[in-house]
Amino acid sequence: MAKKPFSSRVRNAVFILLSFLLTLILFMISICTVFEATLFNSEFIFDNMNSSNYFIDKRDEITTSLIDLGYASGLDEKFFDGFVDEIMISDDTREYLDNYYSGKGAKIDATEFKQSFNTKLDSYIEENNIKNVNGNSRDKLVNKAAQIYRASLEIPLFSRFSAYFLTAKNAMPFVIVALLALAVIICLVLYFANKWKHRTVKYICYATSGAFLALGIIPAYLMLSGKISHINLDSRALYNMFVQSANSVCVAVLFISLFLLLVSLGLYFLYRRMYKKVGG
């Protein structure tokens, strides 16, 4: 069998390189799209909080911390029964997420909490006929309780990576558009540079197949091995929310990976049909 001309081999190498670049671009588009729909979307975080019983777990954690504070101040444990509820936590968390994702800062507004705490203290003082109440001690107690409440609702990574997170979030739509433009350009180059159009389909099929494999391996490994559940977090609420969110992200990546698999199969069958028509 005669060797292919050097120019033909160079051209094939260039096309394979373009196919590889298209694989990388499709991979990055997929990851960016998943991030845009999940981690960079406050609704995604809030929905996973709901589905992981975050607010119930967080209520129990806050109540336990407040009871410990109450012991030091002479408050009965029953004082905190039903004081913090899921609705209050949910509303304040929603505002916290909205402010963070809009760039207003990750702050917890404990105004309503303080008002409720003061009202509860007034009732407690009246019911127990307590005469001498030190105003400074009371203010310290209320502020300390509010500090516990705020600290419990804060998500540690938010404050640590806020500058990078917001920069990436704001840039993500532009990155996706730029990557899509590059993908279209590469497809057009492959189309117009090939006399036989079935070869264009072949190279694009290579790219989608490569992207399918690259996307599917990591999330499949994480979910099957159970590595996600091995993370160490002190807060049960944060742990359950993290595992739930991480699994949801993995499922989203796998869904796109399977979509690319279907596209690859469709392109393969299209290539075979076009190949038969032209005879090679």
Per-residue pLDDT of the chain (280 residues; tens, 9 = 90+): 445 565 677 888 899 999 999 999 999 999 999 999 999 999 999 999 999 999 999 999 999 999 998 887 778 888 888 888 899 999 999 999 998 888 887 778 888 899 998 998 888 888 887 777 777 888 898 999 999 999 999 888 777 777 788 889 999 999 999 999 999 999 999 999 888 888 899 999 999 999 999 999 999 999 989 889 888 888 999 999 999 999 999 999 999 999 999 999 999 999 999 888 876 5
Domain end among 111, 126, 160 = 160
Residue 108 main-chain phi, psi, to 5 deg: -100, 125
Distance CA 175, CA 29 (A): 8
Alpha-carbon distance of 185 to 189, in angstroms, equals: 6
Q: How far apart are CA 154 and CA 162, in angstroms?
A: 12
CB 190 within 8 A of CB 202: no
Last residue of a domain, one of 125, 160, 195: 160
Domain count within the chain: 2
Structural domain span for residue 103: 54-160
Residues 190 and 274 in one domain: yes
Looking at 160, 186, 218, the residue that finishes a domain is 160
The reported pLDDT for the residue numbered 107 is 79
Distance from the first to the final alpha carbon of the chain: 15
Cα–Cα distance measured from residue 180 to residue 171, given in angstroms and rounded to the nearest whole number = 14
DSSP annotation string for 96-147: HHHHHHTTS------HHHHHHHHHHHHHHHHHTT-----HHHHHHHHHHHHH
Same domain membership, residue 59 and residue 40? no
Q: Which two tokens stand for residue 81?
A: 């029964």
* Distance (Å) of CA 240 to CA 43, 221, 231: 17, 20, 10
| Whether residue 99 is found in the same domain as residue 80 | yes
**Residues 31, 92: one domain?**
no
Look at the chain and count its residues: 280
Residue 49 placed within a domain: no
Are 77 and 155 in a shared domain? yes
Asked if 204 and 22 count as a contact pair (C-beta separation under 8 A), the reply is yes
